[in-house]
Amino acid sequence: MARLPVYLQILADQAAAGVANISSEGLAELAGVNAAKVRKDLSYLGSYGTRGVGYEVDYLVYQIRRELGLDHDWPVVIVGAGNLGQALAGYGGFTDRGFPVAGIVDIDHDKVDTLVGGARVRPLDELPQIVAAKNVSIGVIATPPAAAQDAADRLVKAGVTSILNFAPVVLSVPVGITIRKVDLAVELQILSYHEQRRASAQGGQLHAVPNEPGRGVTA
């Protein structure tokens, strides 16, 4: 389930805040989802909570980490040292959460040997060596669209089995390779879709409904 990381995030926060136990309802509230859903998700994990009390935060964190494979680090290699690649390499959030940057490569020789976020950019050709040396199984594609498929091919050939793709293209990879795509422009387009609907709804009805003052949690 794609919600486990969200729970994990919240639980880690709670643990840091000194909370020892949490109920499914409390966790649901914080995650902005239904309480029954939380229980189903956690029961699927096999993790046992205690009836009448709730879940022990530390134990739950341990269980989710284990399930997600976060009991050890997963080095990642970044292909493309442009704006986005540099930001990702420099973004502390990766290393902090168990995904150290094993290396960053670029095809442009002008970028090679420049320093970004503590790592030195290596030439694209060295990708296989980096993957082999650091035992990398996750690759990140931060190249322009036109170069993304080639980057994917090279990553797969080098032995990477999971790819996070930031380029706005649909990649074709052998079966057995896991791909996730994050397209920033698509996210904005979805927002603009909502804005559009908002605008036409207001234009359509004469008596526009003002935003209610209530607060809701939106994940």
Residues 42-61 that bind DNA (CB under 7 A): 42-43, 47-55
Using alpha carbons, select from 191, 143, 130 the residue that is nearest to residue 171. Answer: 143
Residues 6+ apart with CB under 8 A from 74: 98, 99, 137, 138
N-to-C CA span, the chain: 15
3-state class (DSSP) for residue 62: helix
Q: Which residue in 147, 100, 104 sits closest to 127, CA to CA?
A: 104
39 is a contact residue toward DNA (CB under 7 A): yes
Task: Give the nearest distance from C-beta 51 to a second copy in angstroms.
Answer: 26
Q: 84, 166 in Cβ contact below 8 A?
A: yes
Q: Which of 176, 203, 204, 205 binds a second copy (CB under 8 A)?
A: 176
195 binds, among DNA, a second copy, none (CB under 5 to 8 A by kind): a second copy
> In what helix (H) or strand (E) does residue 178 lie, and over which residues does it extend?
strand 178-181
Give the residue with the Cβ less far from DNA, 33 or 156: 33
Per-residue tokens: 34: 């239904």
Q: Residue type for 186, please?
A: V
Could you tell which of DNA, a second copy, none binds residue 128, using a CB distance below 5 to 8 A set by kind?
A: none
Place of tokens 């970044």: 78
Find all residues with CB under 8 Å of 187, minimum gap 6, and list them. Answer: none
x/- track of binding to DNA for residues 11-30 (CB under 7 A): ------------xxx-----
Amino acid letter, 118: G
Task: Give the contact letters, 190-219, x = binds to a second copy (CB under 8 A), - = no.
Answer: xxxxxxxxxx-----------xxxxxxxxx
Task: Check binding of 36 to DNA (CB under 7 A).
Answer: yes
Cα 74–Cα 79–Cα 80 angle in degrees, nearest 5: 140
**Residue 25 and residue 54: Cα distance in Å, rounded?**
9
For DNA, the closer CB: 60 or 160: 60
Contact positions with a second copy (CB under 8 A) in 50-109: 67-70, 74, 76, 83-84, 86-88, 90-94, 97-99
For the bound state, the minimum distance from the C-beta of residue 76 to DNA, rounded and expressed in Å, comes to: 26
Q: Could you tell which of a second copy, DNA, none binds residue 155, using a CB distance below 5 to 8 A set by kind?
A: none
- For 95, the token pair is 């290393």
CB of 50 to a second copy, least distance (A): 25
Q: From the CB of 158, what's the least distance to a second copy, in Å? A: 14
| Residues engaged in binding DNA (CB under 7 A) | 23-25, 33-37, 39-40, 42-43, 47-55
